[in-house]
């Protein structure tokens, strides 16, 4: 049996996309230099023993984790051990996590499979995480997902498909930042969209976020780098609730309150600039503040730039 | 006046019915919208109540000005009814700017009111009350009495400044908390947020509990029990005085009245005796409580408190992963709304009840001189004089014949008492309020009742949760309250705090007027009985003796038979 160690983001073992998938490997590389929420990868091989029967495309069935089998028990114990470690790293007895697939076909540089594979947000506890991981894997074997891979010449059996289990930071504010204006292409400024709560409402466009424009040169000169601020009437936000996340109304008194102050907007601007320099291209950054701590959640190239 | 130049054009003034002639004091009066405040003044009021109308209006003006609110509310006695006149103090094009200013002021007000009440307003209220207690009404010279009357009016108006300075942010805080709770937790249950505010007790509830503990004591002795239960209300105190044990109990009852009996059956009415003067209502309550020996209202309240803490803990757990700013807002408003719930009742004891009794006793002092001089038949008739007439009576030491005036005024009240007072003046634009204070006031006074689809269902506002079936008792005055039996449904026009000991007897309460933040709804939640408030017509649609089902959460009363 393959090595069943679960590598952690930022560790050498999680840098290899062939083992942990493209998405996790990208985050792992970033985690070595930036503050990425802690998480561990369940490598493709770890599933072999617990029943990716679905990988036999002719005899596909819904994968169910059977904790009472010997293999299932071992799988559960590994998840349990990793979850305890995560609790220690986050300083939270029962941290909520996001369980996502991380595939070889998801290198973060091209069209992603997001939307085809199930993602489970705010999963709490080892047993539910094990369940979610198996369901996540199973979701890669729907007819649609298989056809998608076939059409793109990717291994239909999705060898190397891994699952990433990462701390879901209960964010006060989430933001998407562009190190170049995605509309005008202007590279002298960072454009930030932000809203209260988790990032889903910003990413999915269900709400008009606050917009901040931060000047790159003024940041270096430590002047007043926030050039422009448009505070919008933020009607809703995404929040973690038991068993998932939920879109709720923003209380009236918070709706027109800017969700970032100048200092925090500048900090996000600095992160975007650092990432741009690190990656060598203009970046699209997802990040979140919990208290005064800024977490990097995702970093991709700005795809709209010529 | 520019106030009418709104989009869509001004509404014309309402026609004035022939049986309700109105002469406006000033031409601009007709631009205001005048209507009855069905919670506080559903019936006719005596001419002396203009003392209060003046104090309410001044208090409202000064507190709205303090919070920069673009509302003007006046109280005026028209054809023997207290009318409230709503108008705009600023032109419509300035409303929004004024509204924004008010929002900022009100936010400060919500933050500060619990502390201001404790450290600033309540001490001042007590000082005013002491002023009346210290004055020798019967020994004063006519000049001193007239001067005391003037002082009374100034101090009364100041008490009503404080009343509204407190009530505006107190009611607003409960309304804002309800909104933040529903926004954040996506709760559908209309009454869910109020569980986090219940079981704190308050002066209204304490007044009821004081009677309960007297009822327990009375049940311990056969002698006391029979003196109270075997006699009609008016015979109870004489029967008690016949024995040493009874006299001791009667003294204890009088001490209760000294603390809790400075209220009148009819809200603020200067012509209505206080419980201290006429204890029939508390004696009826006492008898009712003695008929329920197994109940323990203090324990019931403690259970509500346990349920409150559980609801608070549950909400905090659900909010644990929410943005800090949202959790802070929740905690800020929870604390203010809890204070607001308590002070919404406590202030009524300290200001509404106490001040009306002090002013009544002051005016009665003049009444005694009038009666002694033969100017009126009884001291209580002084309530049928206007404020200026009362002052003049004080100055003249009661000389002159006022009996015809009193008789005419009583006849006038009787005449108009049979007429439904119509809304008059210029109606405001249609539509529900959208500003925070407008929304809060709607929760206090109640939204316009929805019309029910079924003839057997009366719809109102959800007031207090729970579903119960019982016999409807239509009770319009507290004098009629002895018809209410244990487990009956109290159906009435409005309940002010003097009514609330009946909540210990009733299985549920249904009112014509009020919203989820009305005294009735708040106190019903403290007694843990279902309430449907603001039905508009419950007292006329439901018939006395009918079996009805009250669903407090749905705000519906179903007539069963």
pLDDT digits (tens, 9 = 90+) for A254-288: 999 999 998 999 999 999 999 999 999 999 999 99
Whole-number Cα distances in Å, B335 to B172, B196, B315: 13, 10, 14
Which residues are A178's β-sheet partners? Answer: A191, A284
Q: Does A239 touch chain B (CB under 8 A)?
A: yes
Does residue B172 have a pLDDT over 90? yes
B518 min Cα distance to partner chain A (Å): 23
Contact list, A122 vs chain B (CB under 8 Å): 321
Residues recorded for chain B: 561
For residue A114, give the DSSP letter. Answer: B
* Model pLDDT, residue A111: 40
For residue B351, give the DSSP letter. Answer: I
Q: Does A202 touch chain B (CB under 8 A)?
A: no
Give me the residue label for tokens 């005085």: B241
Mean per-residue pLDDT over chain A, rounded: 84
Contact list, A175 vs chain B (CB under 8 Å): none
Burial of A152 (0-12, 13-18, 19+ CB in 10 A): exposed
* Model pLDDT, residue A221: 54
Mean per-residue pLDDT over chain B, rounded: 92
Tokens of A99: 């369980």
**Under 8 Å CB-to-CB from B542, ≥6 apart: which residues?**
B458, B472, B474, B491, B510, B548, B557, B559
Q: How many CA atoms, within 13 angstroms, populate the side-chain half-sphere of residue A11?
A: 13
Does residue B255 have a pLDDT over 50? yes
Secondary-structure percent of chain B, ordered helix, strand, coil, rounded to 5: 55, 10, 30
Does residue B9 have a pLDDT over 90? no
Nearest residue to B325 via CA among A209, A220, A170: A170
Whole-number Cα distances in Å, A95 to A73, A182, A242: 22, 35, 11
Let me know if domain A12-167 sits in CATH 3.90.1150.10.
Answer: no
Tokens of B378: 């009884």
Tokens of B128: 């005013």
The CATH 3.30.1490.20 domain(s) of chain A lie at 12-167
Contact list, A241 vs chain B (CB under 8 Å): 318, 321
Does residue A136 have a pLDDT over 70? yes
Size of interface A-B (CB pairs under 8 A): 61
* Model pLDDT, residue A93: 92
**Under 8 Å CB-to-CB from B171, ≥6 apart: which residues?**
B340, B344, B440, B441, B443, B444, B517
Residues of chain B above pLDDT 90, percent: 79
Burial of B561 (0-12, 13-18, 19+ CB in 10 A): exposed
A153 min Cα distance to partner chain B (Å): 42
Alpha helix ranges (H) inside B425-512: 436-445
* Model pLDDT, residue B27: 85
The CATH 3.30.470.20 domain(s) of chain A lie at 173-301
Residues of chain B above pLDDT 70, percent: 98
* Model pLDDT, residue A304: 67
CB contact under 8 A, B321 and A239: yes
| d(C-alpha A121, C-alpha A119), whole Å | 6
**Under 8 Å CB-to-CB from A90, ≥6 apart: which residues?**
A37, A38, A167
Q: Is B471 helix (H, G, I), strand (E, B) or coil?
A: strand
Domain boundaries of chain B, sorted by first residue: 446-559
Does residue B339 have a pLDDT over 70? yes
Tokens of B71: 């509302």
CB B454 within 8 A of CB B557: no
CB contact under 8 A, B329 and A173: no
pLDDT-derived band at A161 (thresholds 50, 70, 90) equals confident
Give me the residue label for tokens 């009374």: B152
Does residue A145 have a pLDDT over 80? no
Which residues are B76's β-sheet partners? Answer: B83
Name the CA radius of gyration of chain B, rounded. Answer: 24
Kindly report the CATH class assigned to B446-559: alpha beta
* Model pLDDT, residue A64: 53
Does residue B174 have a pLDDT over 50? yes
Question: Nearest 5 degrees, angle CA B509-CA B510-CA B513?
Answer: 125
Q: What is the ipTM of this complex?
A: 0.87
Q: How many CA atoms, within 13 angstroms, populate the side-chain half-sphere of residue A162?
A: 32
Tokens of B337: 């709304």
CB contact under 8 A, B323 and A197: yes
Selecting from A96, A239, A257 the residue whose C-beta is nearest the C-beta of B322 gives: A239
The strand ranges marked E within B344-397 are none
> Per-residue pLDDT averaged across B277-303, rounded?
92
| d(C-alpha B88, C-alpha B102), whole Å | 14
* Model pLDDT, residue A65: 58
Let me know if domain A173-301 sits in CATH 3.30.470.20.
Answer: yes
Sheet hosting strand A39-42, strand order edge to edge:
A39-42, A162-167, A96-102, A120-124
Q: How far is CA B88 from the centre of its chain?
A: 25
Least confident of A117-121, B358-362, B487-491: A117-121
pLDDT-derived band at A115 (thresholds 50, 70, 90) equals low
| d(C-alpha A290, C-alpha B245), whole Å | 68
The tens digit of pLDDT for each residue in A55-111 reads: 554 444 445 556 677 777 888 889 999 999 999 999 999 999 999 988 765 544 334
């Amino acid at each position: 049996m393959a090595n069943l160690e679960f590598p952690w983001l930022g560790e050498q073992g999680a840098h290899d996309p062939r083992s942990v998938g493209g998405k996790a490997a990208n985050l792992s590389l970033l985690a070595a230099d930036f503050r990425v929420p802690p998480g561990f990868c369940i490598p493709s091989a770890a599933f072999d023993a617990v029943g990716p029967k679905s990988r036999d495309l002719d005899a596909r069935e819904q994968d169910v984790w059977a904790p009472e089998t010997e293999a299932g028990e071992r799988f559960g114990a590994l998840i349990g051990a990793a979850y305890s470690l995560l609790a220690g790293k986050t300083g939270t007895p029962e941290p909520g996590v996001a369980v996502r697939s991380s595939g070889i076909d998801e290198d973060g540089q091209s069209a992603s499979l997001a939307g085809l594979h199930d993602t489970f947000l705010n999963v709490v506890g080892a047993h539910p995480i094990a369940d979610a991981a198996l369901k996540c894997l199973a979701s890669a074997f729907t007819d649609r997902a298989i056809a998608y891979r076939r059409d793109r010449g990717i291994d239909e059996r999705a060898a190397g498909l891994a699952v990433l289990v990462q701390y879901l930071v209960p964010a006060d504010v989430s933001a998407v930042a562009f190190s170049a204006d995605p509309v005008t292409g202007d590279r002298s400024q960072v454009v930030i969209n932000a809203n209260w709560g988790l990032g889903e409402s910003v990413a999915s466009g269900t709400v008009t976020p606050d917009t901040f424009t931060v000047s790159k040169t003024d940041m270096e000169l430590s002047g007043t780098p926030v050039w422009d601020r448009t505070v919008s009437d933020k009607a809703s936000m995404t929040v973690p609730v038991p068993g998932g996340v939920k879109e709720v109304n923003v209380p009236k008194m918070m709706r027109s309150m800017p969700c970032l102050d100048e200092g925090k907007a500048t900090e996000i601007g600095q992160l975007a600039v650092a990432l741009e320099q690190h990656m060598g291209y203009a970046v699209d950054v997802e990040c979140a503040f919990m208290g005064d701590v800024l977490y990097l959640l995702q970093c991709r190239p700005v795809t709209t730039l010529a | 006046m520019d106030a009418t130049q709104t989009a869509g054009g001004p509404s014309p003034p309402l026609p004035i019915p022939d049986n309700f002639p109105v002469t406006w004091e000033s031409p601009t009066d007709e631009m205001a919208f005048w209507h009855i405040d069905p919670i506080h003044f559903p019936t006719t009021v005596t001419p002396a109540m203009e003392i209060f109308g003046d104090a309410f209006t001044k208090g409202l003006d000064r507190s709205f000005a303090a919070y920069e609110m673009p509302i003007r509310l006046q109280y005026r006695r028209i054809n023997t009814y207290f009318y409230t006149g709503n108008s705009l103090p600023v032109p419509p094009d300035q409303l929004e700017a004024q509204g924004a200013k008010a929002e900022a002021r009100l936010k400060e007000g919500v933050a500060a009111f619990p502390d201001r009440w404790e450290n600033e307003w309540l001490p001042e209220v007590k000082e005013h009350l002491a002023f009346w207690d210290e004055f020798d009404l019967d020994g004063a010279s006519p000049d001193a009495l007239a001067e005391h009357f003037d002082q009374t009016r100034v101090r009364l108006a100041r008490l009503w400044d404080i009343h509204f300075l407190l009530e505006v942010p107190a009611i607003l805080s409960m309304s804002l908390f309800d909104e933040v709770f529903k926004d954040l937790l996506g709760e559908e249950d209309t009454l869910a947020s109020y569980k986090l505010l219940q079981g704190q007790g308050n002066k209204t509830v304490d007044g009821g509990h004081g009677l309960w503990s007297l009822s327990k004591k009375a049940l311990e002795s056969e002698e006391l029990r029979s003196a109270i239960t075997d006699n009609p209300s008016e015979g109870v105190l004489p029967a008690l005085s016949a024995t040493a044990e009874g006299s001791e109990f009667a003294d204890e009852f009088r001490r209760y009245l000294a603390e809790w009996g400075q209220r009148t059956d009819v809200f603020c009415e200067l012509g209505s005796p206080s419980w201290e003067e006429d204890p029939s209502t508390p004696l009826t309550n006492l008898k009712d409580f003695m008929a329920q020996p197994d109940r323990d209202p203090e324990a019931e309240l403690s259970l509500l408190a346990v349920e409150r803490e559980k609801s608070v803990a549950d909400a905090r757990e659900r909010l644990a992963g929410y943005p800090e700013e949202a959790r802070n807002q929740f905690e800020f408003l929870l604390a203010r709304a809890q204070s607001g719930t308590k002070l919404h009742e406590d202030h009524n004891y300290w200001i509404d009840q106490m001040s009306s009794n002090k002013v009544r006793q002051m005016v009665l002092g003049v009444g005694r001189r009038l009666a002694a001089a033969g100017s009126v038949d009884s001291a209580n008739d002084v309530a049928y004089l206007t404020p200026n007439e009362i002052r003049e009576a004080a100055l003249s030491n009661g000389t002159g014949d006022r009996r015809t005036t009193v008789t005419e005024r009583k006849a006038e009240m009787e005449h108009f008492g049979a007429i439904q007072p119509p809304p008059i003046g210029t109606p405001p634009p249609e539509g529900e309020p959208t500003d925070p204070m407008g929304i809060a006031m709607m929760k206090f006074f109640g939204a316009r009742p929805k019309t029910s689809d079924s003839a057997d269902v009366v719809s109102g506002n959800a007031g207090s949760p729970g579903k119960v079936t019982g016999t409807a008792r239509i009770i319009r005055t507290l004098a009629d309250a002895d018809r209410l039996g244990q487990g009956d449904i109290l159906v009435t026009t409005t309940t002010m705090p003097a009514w609330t000991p009946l909540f210990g007897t009733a299985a549920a309460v249904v009112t014509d007027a009020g919203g989820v933040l009305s005294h009735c709804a708040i106190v019903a939640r403290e007694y843990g009985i279902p309430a449907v408030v603001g039905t508009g017509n419950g007292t006329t649609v439901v018939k006395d003796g009918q079996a009805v089902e009250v669903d407090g959460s749905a705000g519906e009363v179903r007539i069963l038979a």
